[in-house]
Structure 1
Amino acid sequence: MSIGHVPADLEFTDILEHIDETIIIADLSHTITWMNDAAVKILGPLYSLFGIAENEDLIGKHMDFFHSHPAHQKQIMHELNHTYRTVITIKNSYVAETVIAPIYNKQQVKQGYILMLLDVTEKAQQEKEKEQTIALLSTPILKIWDSVLAIPIFGNLTNERADRLLETILKKCVEERAEFFLLDLSSLSKIDESSGYYINKIGQSLRLIGTECFVVGVSPSLASSISKSNFHWTTYLHVQQAIQEIMTRRGVSFSYIP
């Protein structure tokens, strides 16, 4: 139960307007009837993703507008008689912790709903990167052949991820006295300058300890992305092609088995 009191002349909308978080009010039919200034500023850049040109065009829209599974949300709203919390993602661009509560009049008759959206987009991205780092660093370095090691690369390589990955790779290569190391990029469809820089750094570092780095799993789309950058890597479409090159250098004959 709340305690204390508020000024008698303080308007309800004045309170909501000065909260620096997204506030939306919807009626019993789940139609948006009001948004505060923070909602207009924060959600504004997302309107174009839904084909909405003006802020005012959102008023009158059904709340299904925000949900990928509206039937589930409708059931929750219909049965809602207390505060409900969830997390929504809008068009993969905005992640919000959402607090929804029914609005009652003095006779305790439900009048509508109030929604507060707390922007957690940056936090969600950080969590995603953390999960990628854990997944990457927990991926074992594979021993393909005598003194030939490999590891798959996925997701964007941040500075922290790349440094920790490089440390792991160098340590393993020294332990195994690796002559060749295969970086498998088959899970990537394109590569940006940042990830390319770190992959380049891994290759150069391996060269300093006497290990040659081959970049494998280079699809046509990835090759196109790499060609636009100033990276000079020894690349192969498949791991098998890199292995064939290593066997040739070692004077080992090979043949295909149909």
Structure 2
Amino acid sequence: MVQQIDPVITDTLDCLEENIFIIDLEYKVSWMNQSAQSFIDNIKTFLKLEKAEDLIGTSISRFHKNPSYQINLLEKGDFPIDMQLNLFNRFVARLVVKEFIVTGEKKGYLLNWRDITEIEKEKEKTQALIDELSAPILQTIAENTLLVPLVGELSIERMERLTSKLLNECLKNQADFVLLDFSGVTTLADSNLGQEVQKLTSAVELMGATVLYCGFSTEMVKDMVDLGIQTNQLSFVSFHNAIRYVVAKLGYRLEKA
């Protein structure tokens, strides 16, 4: 296969800083440019290769947990194919595949392998920071009372992370009351979110704390009714009303400054 490729083509591909592979019609790696070879050399241990050149002749199915799905995409012929793979629970790769056609004849496929591991790690860090800022857990003037002001669009993933974090904070602060403030929530479009909020509530109450809701807007109440979300939890129009209730329950035991 390699010998049949015009040297002008391979020389051109070698000049590119992208990781380019040529895949033959049997879905095996038949050639790679210098950039790709250097890249494979850096991860050869994970690929169980002694050297990058050993990748030649290897089926691309080894890089996908569902090889038949990958082959079906190539046979379907809807190019370019753009996919993202997690490899060895360590690397994140973006693969772009196009047909490799020479003088009107299909010789195989051109695969561009971009390592986006660091980009994805930065995205995860950014998302974690956004989640931290959009769902802080704050102490209040009332003793052993925590406030959770929810901001932005609620998602099941966010609620699951918040539950874990909140349980730790309840234990750390020996919380008697937890106020969930929904006044900053912009979107509630999934009926399953009601179940997640209830799960959070039940988990916190198993820790011995009473959960109070506050800050529901009229729009959010309508959304909850439309989605069939029901709750028997004690609710207040605002945080101000909720904290007054807590202070009264505590017998005006205010937290020392």
Return the TM-score normalized by structure 2: 0.51
The amino acid across from 2:92 in the alignment is V
Cα RMSD (Å) of the superposition? 3.6
Is 1:78 the counterpart of 2:75? The answer is: yes
Using the alignment, how far apart are the partners of 1:87 and 1:65 within structure 2? 15
Q: 2:22 aligns with which of 21, 25, 28?
A: 25
Is 1:122 the counterpart of 2:118? The answer is: yes
Gaps of 5+ in 1: 1-8, 153-181, 187-212, 217-238, 242-258
Tell me the equivalent position of 1:141.
137
Gaps of 5+ in 2: 1-5, 149-165, 175-205, 209-257
Tell me the equivalent position of 2:108.
112
Displacement of 1:127 in angstroms is 0.9
Per-residue CA deviation, residues 80-109 of structure 1 (Å, 9 max, x unaligned), is: 253222222222333233221011232x33
Tell me the equivalent position of 2:42.
45
Q: In 2, are the aligned partners of 1:150 and 1:184 still within 8 Å (CA)?
A: no
SS class of match (1:42):
helix
Is 1:60 the counterpart of 2:44? The answer is: no
Number of residue equivalences = 158
Using the alignment, how far apart are the partners of 1:100 and 1:215 within structure 2? 54
Per-residue CA deviation, residues 10-60 of structure 1 (Å, 9 max, x unaligned), is: 711011111111111110111001111111222223221232222122111
Q: In 1, are the aligned partners of 2:21 and 2:33 still within 8 Å (CA)?
A: yes
Return the TM-score normalized by structure 1: 0.51
SS class of match (1:147):
coil
Tell me the equivalent position of 1:200.
none
Q: In 2, are the aligned partners of 1:142 and 1:151 still within 8 Å (CA)?
A: yes
Q: In 1, are the aligned partners of 2:144 and 2:173 still within 8 Å (CA)?
A: no
Using the alignment, how far apart are the partners of 2:94 and 2:36 within structure 1? 14
- Where do 1:1-258 residues align within 5 Å? 11-80=8-77, 82-106=79-103, 108-141=104-137, 146-149=142-145, 184=168, 214=172
Displacement of 1:149 in angstroms is 4.8
Using the alignment, how far apart are the partners of 1:98 and 1:144 within structure 2? 50
Q: In 2, are the aligned partners of 1:81 and 1:102 still within 8 Å (CA)?
A: no
Q: In 1, are the aligned partners of 2:85 and 2:94 still within 8 Å (CA)?
A: yes
